[in-house]
Amino acid sequence: MRSILSMGLAMLSAPTTAEVVSADAHGFEVQESVSLVVPPAQAYAAFGRIGSWWNPEHSYSGNSANLRLALQAGGCFCESDPKKGGGVEHMRVSVVIPGERIVMTGSLGPLLYQAATGVMDVKFDRIAGGTKVTLNYRAAGFAKGDADKLAPLVDSVLADQVKRYRAFAAKGGGK
């Protein structure tokens, strides 16, 4: 039997919802959602510190500290790779409403090499006791005709990222 404390800690680290909303051969939509016991401005700031919570296993350099997210229109969700002297632009920031919304466009992971691109829409909604953060990623393009097979994989990776973000934000990562 688990203690109340361990159940509470598990709830802090698990996404509220994660799902493949739709998928076909050339595109998909996935959505992740978490509730945080922090105000929207703090949740927003924590999201911007992406190098502090992104899983390094899902980076090109293998080091999350090489990731940065410039929270301004035209800003970059980019990664440097000091070992190889290069870098990657994962996404470009299109819309920023501090404390409310971030919209980015670009290709995550293998989509970059498959002539597919996406829109990531991150909303920060005030709820009783904190903030509900909803991340919606819609991707479409060529994707070698197997976007429907990629959708559950992308959903799993983003669910892990949101779980890590939630833990970081809950520890005061946006202060």
Question: Rounded CA gap, 110 and 141, in Å?
Answer: 12
Average pLDDT score, the chain: 90
Q: Does residue 154 contact residue 139 with C-beta atoms inside 8 Å? A: yes
Per-residue tokens: 107: 């290709």
Of the candidates 65, 8, 12, the residue with the CA atom closest to the CA atom of residue 38: 12
Residue 6 has pLDDT above 50, yes or no: no
Question: Rounded CA gap, 139 and 19, in Å?
Answer: 14
The total number of residues written for the chain in this structure: 175
Which pLDDT score is estimated for 144? 81
Residue 15 has pLDDT above 90, yes or no: no
Give all domains of the chain, ordered by start, each with its CATH number: 4-170 (3.30.530.20)
3-state secondary structure of 73: coil
Does the pTM of the predicted model rise above 0.85?
Answer: yes
Which pLDDT score is estimated for 16? 65
Give residue-wise pLDDT tens across range 41-84.
999 999 999 999 999 999 999 999 999 999 999 999 999 999 99
Residue 151 has pLDDT above 60, yes or no: yes
Which pLDDT score is estimated for 114? 87
Per-residue tokens: 34: 């978490």
Q: Does residue 174 contact residue 45 with C-beta atoms inside 8 Å? A: yes
DSSP state of 18: E
3 pLDDT tier (thresholds 50, 70, 90): very low
Give residue-wise pLDDT tens across range 90-120.
999 999 999 999 999 999 988 988 889 999 9
